[in-house]
Amino acid sequence: MTARRLLIAAALISTLFLVVVPLAYIFSRAFGQGWAAYQANILHPDTLHAIWLTAVVAVIVLPINIAFGIAAAWLVARFRFWGRGLLVLLIEIPFSVSPIIAGICYLLLYGRQGLLGPLLLENGIQILFAVPGIVLVTMFVTSPFVAREVLPLMEAQGSEQEQAAVTLGASGWQIFRRVTLPNIRWALLYGAVLCAARAVGEFGGVSVVSGSIRGQTNTLPLQVELLFNDLNVVGAFAAASTLTLIALVALAVKTLLDRQH
């Protein structure tokens, strides 16, 4: 009984200091100088542009990632083929590769001295230090998120229902829309929420390829760093609080979906 109390107390106190206080501190600093100061910081053109760019990147990345996630899950969960294990490992790789290494890889691929750099230069295509580079790195970093949620569920559910649909003469699209999608919809939504949250918050990889040009290629997390380096700590916390709110909303949706499962 005493052990129980002791352990619960230890859990609560350590979580208070490790998680709750840092979270509370963000809002305390963001609103510490009043609502007007917060508003002025958020409505600064560079910060507004960073919010806009972050949203654009997320809106581009999310549907592509969902399509990839479904395709990968369908492929791995419904078919047996040579190299399947290797493919699963490949899907997981971006999860264990540091985003900063992903950024460096992209620079070595598309950069001026990179593998495809001269080719891009010849054709006047700019990928790095522009939106395409940010989108590509974000796609790398977020690529396993949807697949990782949908794949295990599809494997666990098995393919009997889909096979039955085939024998009843359903087309591929009909099977997907009427049988598969309703079965995986919560896991899909769950993965999409995680992917969106990650896309919005990505920092390391994006910081390498974006060039952090103020008012142009700065996403919101990069703007946090820029303001921090400018010693505008209140501005940094205002931008950070926006990201924190997005994270908390994602978390709330995730917790609700957990109960749906």
Find the binding residues for another protein in span 182-211 (CB under 8 A).
Answer: 197, 200-204, 207-208
Q: Please, are residues 65 and 143 in contact by the beta-carbon 8 Å criterion? A: yes
150 contributes a contact to another protein by CB under 8 A: no
29 contributes a contact to another protein by CB under 8 A: yes
Closer of 43 and 64 to another protein (Cβ): 64
Give the residue, chosen from 42, 75, 120, 257, that forms a contact with another protein under the rule CB under 8 A. 75
Give the residue, chosen from 42, 55, 104, 130, that forms a contact with another protein under the rule CB under 8 A. 104
Q: Please, are residues 114 and 133 in contact by the beta-carbon 8 Å criterion? A: no
- Percentages of the chain per state (helix, strand, coil), in multiples of 5: 80, 0, 20
If 0-12 CB within 10 Å is exposed, 13-18 middle and 19+ buried, where does residue 209 land? buried
Q: 6: which 2 tokens?
A: 């002791």
For residue 197, how many C-alpha atoms fall within 13 Å in the half-sphere facing its CB? Answer: 19
Closer of 40 and 97 to another protein (Cβ): 97
**Concatenated DSSP letters for 59-81?**
HHHHHHHHHHHHHHHHHHHH---
Give the residue, chosen from 34, 45, 113, 123, that forms a contact with another protein under the rule CB under 8 A. 113
Closer of 59 and 248 to another protein (Cβ): 248
52 contributes a contact to another protein by CB under 8 A: no
If 0-12 CB within 10 Å is exposed, 13-18 middle and 19+ buried, where does residue 72 land? buried
94 contributes a contact to another protein by CB under 8 A: yes
Question: What residue has token string 């899950």?
Answer: 73
Closer of 113 and 123 to another protein (Cβ): 113
149 contributes a contact to another protein by CB under 8 A: no
Give the residue, chosen from 43, 48, 59, 115, that forms a contact with another protein under the rule CB under 8 A. 115
Give the residue, chosen from 78, 132, 216, 232, that forms a contact with another protein under the rule CB under 8 A. 78
| Beta carbon of residue 254, minimum distance to another protein (angstroms, whole number) | 7
Binding range to another protein, per CB under 8 A, among 45-53, 107-115, 123-131, 184-192: 107-115
161 contributes a contact to another protein by CB under 8 A: no
Give the residue, chosen from 8, 43, 121, 213, that forms a contact with another protein under the rule CB under 8 A. 8
Q: Please, are residues 41 and 239 in contact by the beta-carbon 8 Å criterion? A: yes
| Beta carbon of residue 229, minimum distance to another protein (angstroms, whole number) | 10
List b or e across 127-158, with b for residues whose CB sees 16 or more CB atoms inside 10 angstroms.
bbbbbebbbbbbbbbbbbbbbbbbbebbeeee
125 contributes a contact to another protein by CB under 8 A: no
